Structure 1
Amino acid sequence: MTRRIAIVGGGLSGLVAAHECSKLSDASITVFESAERFGGKISSSPLGASIVDDGADAFLLRTSAGSDLCQELGIGELRSPATHHAGVWANDAIQPMPDGLVLGVPARVEALRSSNILSEEGIERACAEPTLDVDPVLHDCSIGALVAERFGREVADRITAPLLGGIAAGNLYSMSLWATVPVLAAAARTPGAWSQNLSRSLPVANGTPSPAFGAPRGGMSALIERLIEALQARGVELLTGHPCAELPEADRVILTTPAWESARLLAASAPLAAALLGQIRHASMAFIGLAYPPGTATPDPTSSGFLVPRTANRSITAASWSSQKWPHLGQELIVRASIGHIDAPDALGGSDEDLVAQARADLADMAGLSATPVDARVRRYPRSFPQFDVGHLDRITELRHHLRVEAPTVSLCGMAVQGVGIPACIEQAQTAARQASTE
Structure 2
Amino acid sequence: MKTIAVVGGGITGLCALYEMERQAKAQNIDAQFILIEKNDYVGGKIHTVTTDEFAMEVGADSIVARHPGVLAMVEELGMAQELVYNETGTSYIHTNGELHGIPLNSTFGIPMSVESLMQSTLLTEAGKERALQDVTTPNTTFTKDDSIGHFLTSCFGDELVTKQIAPVLSGVYSGNLYELSIASTIPYLLDYKKQFGSIIKGFEANREKFEKANDKKFISFKRGLSSFAERVCQSLTKTEVLTNVQLELLEKKGEQYALYLSNCDIRYVDEVVLTTPHDVTRRFFNDDALQPYFDGFRNGSAITLYLGYDVPDAILPADGTGFIVSHNSSLQCNACTWTSRKWKHTSKHEKLLVRLFYKDVHPRYEEFKAMSDAELVRVAMDDIKMSLDVTDEPTICEVTKWIDQMPRYDLAHRKTRDALVDYLAIHYPNVVLAGCSFYGVGVGACMQNGREIATRVISTIS
The answer on 1:308 being equivalent to 2:325 is yes
Deviations 1:357-396 (A, max 9, x none): 1111112112222222111111222221101111422333
Task: Give the whole-Å Cα distance in 1 for the aligned partners of 2:193 and 2:419.
Answer: 24
Query: How many residues are paired up?
Result: 434
Q: 1:284 to 1:96 in 2, by over 3 A?
A: same
Task: Give the whole-Å Cα distance in 2 for the aligned partners of 1:143 and 1:33.
Answer: 35
Q: 1:9 to 1:90 in 2, by over 3 A?
A: same
- Between 129-138 and 55-64, the greater mean CA deviation after superposition: 129-138
Unaligned residue ranges in structure 2 (runs of 5+) = 25-29, 251-258, 260-267
Deviation of 1:42 (Å): 0.6
Q: 1:244 is matched with which residue?
A: 247
Deviations 1:248-293 (A, max 9, x none): 2410000000111112224528x34x43333211111122111111
- TM-score norm. by structure 1 comes to 0.92
Deviation of 1:188 (Å): 4.0
Judge conservation of contact 1:108–1:199 (CA < 8 Å) in 2: yes
Task: Give the whole-Å Cα distance in 1 for the aligned partners of 2:72 and 2:212.
Answer: 24
Q: 1:342 to 1:411 in 2, by over 3 A?
A: farther
Judge conservation of contact 2:37–2:245 (CA < 8 Å) in 1: yes
The answer on 1:339 being equivalent to 2:338 is no
Over the matched positions of the two proteins, sequence identity in percent amounts to: 27
Q: Which amino acid aligns with 1:168?
A: Y
Judge conservation of contact 1:203–1:209 (CA < 8 Å) in 2: no
Task: Give the whole-Å Cα distance in 1 for the aligned partners of 2:274 and 2:344.
Answer: 38
Matched residue of 1:348: which SS? helix
Judge conservation of contact 1:143–1:173 (CA < 8 Å) in 2: yes
Deviation of 1:429 (Å): 0.8
Deviations 1:316-367 (A, max 9, x none): 1111111111223232111111112356662422111122111111121122
Q: Which amino acid aligns with 1:235?
A: K
The answer on 1:295 being equivalent to 2:294 is no
Q: 2:105 is matched with which residue?
A: 100
Equivalences for residues 49-128 of structure 1 within 5 A: 49-77=53-81, 78-128=83-133
The answer on 1:20 being equivalent to 2:19 is yes
Q: 1:264 is matched with which residue?
A: 283
Judge conservation of contact 2:296–2:416 (CA < 8 Å) in 1: no
Deviation of 1:208 (Å): 9.0
Matched residue of 1:294: which SS? strand
- Between 260-269 and 6-15, the greater mean CA deviation after superposition: 260-269
Q: 1:403 aligns with which of 413, 424, 437?
A: 424
- Between 417-426 and 212-221, the greater mean CA deviation after superposition: 212-221
The answer on 1:324 being equivalent to 2:341 is yes
Deviations 1:37-61 (A, max 9, x none): 2111111112461223222221112
Task: Give the whole-Å Cα distance in 2 for the aligned partners of 1:5 and 1:43.
Answer: 26
Matched residue of 1:390: which SS? coil
Deviations 1:139-167 (A, max 9, x none): 42111111111111122222222212112
Q: 1:36 is matched with which residue?
A: 40
Judge conservation of contact 1:102–1:202 (CA < 8 Å) in 2: no
Q: 1:361 to 1:202 in 2, by over 3 A?
A: farther
Deviation of 1:410 (Å): 0.6
Matched residue of 1:283: which SS? strand
Matched residue of 1:245: which SS? strand
Task: Give the whole-Å Cα distance in 1 for the aligned partners of 2:312 and 2:99.
Answer: 21
Q: 1:118 to 1:64 in 2, by over 3 A?
A: same
Task: Give the whole-Å Cα distance in 2 for the aligned partners of 1:49 and 1:123.
Answer: 45
Deviations 1:112-133 (A, max 9, x none): 2222112232222112321224
Q: 2:444 is matched with which residue?
A: 423
- Between 68-77 and 99-108, the greater mean CA deviation after superposition: 99-108
Task: Give the whole-Å Cα distance in 2 for the aligned partners of 1:193 and 1:155.
Answer: 15
Deviation of 1:209 (Å): 4.9
Equivalences for residues 145-294 of structure 1 within 5 A: 145-190=150-195, 192-203=197-208, 209-231=214-236, 234-247=237-250, 248=259, 249-266=268-285, 268=287, 271-272=289-290, 274-294=291-311
Deviation of 1:207 (Å): 7.3
Deviations 1:216-238 (A, max 9, x none): 3332111111012112xx13111
Judge conservation of contact 1:299–1:368 (CA < 8 Å) in 2: no
- TM-score norm. by structure 2 comes to 0.87
Q: 1:197 to 1:381 in 2, by over 3 A?
A: same
Task: Give the whole-Å Cα distance in 2 for the aligned partners of 1:173 and 1:311.
Answer: 19
Deviation of 1:191 (Å): 5.0
Task: Give the whole-Å Cα distance in 2 for the aligned partners of 1:323 and 1:55.
Answer: 16
Task: Give the whole-Å Cα distance in 2 for the aligned partners of 1:342 and 1:254.
Answer: 32
Deviation of 1:110 (Å): 3.5
Unaligned residue ranges in structure 1 (runs of 5+) = none
Q: 1:185 to 1:427 in 2, by over 3 A?
A: farther
Q: Which has the higher strand share?
A: 2
Task: Give the whole-Å Cα distance in 1 for the aligned partners of 2:17 and 2:118.
Answer: 50
Cα RMSD, aligned residues only = 2.3
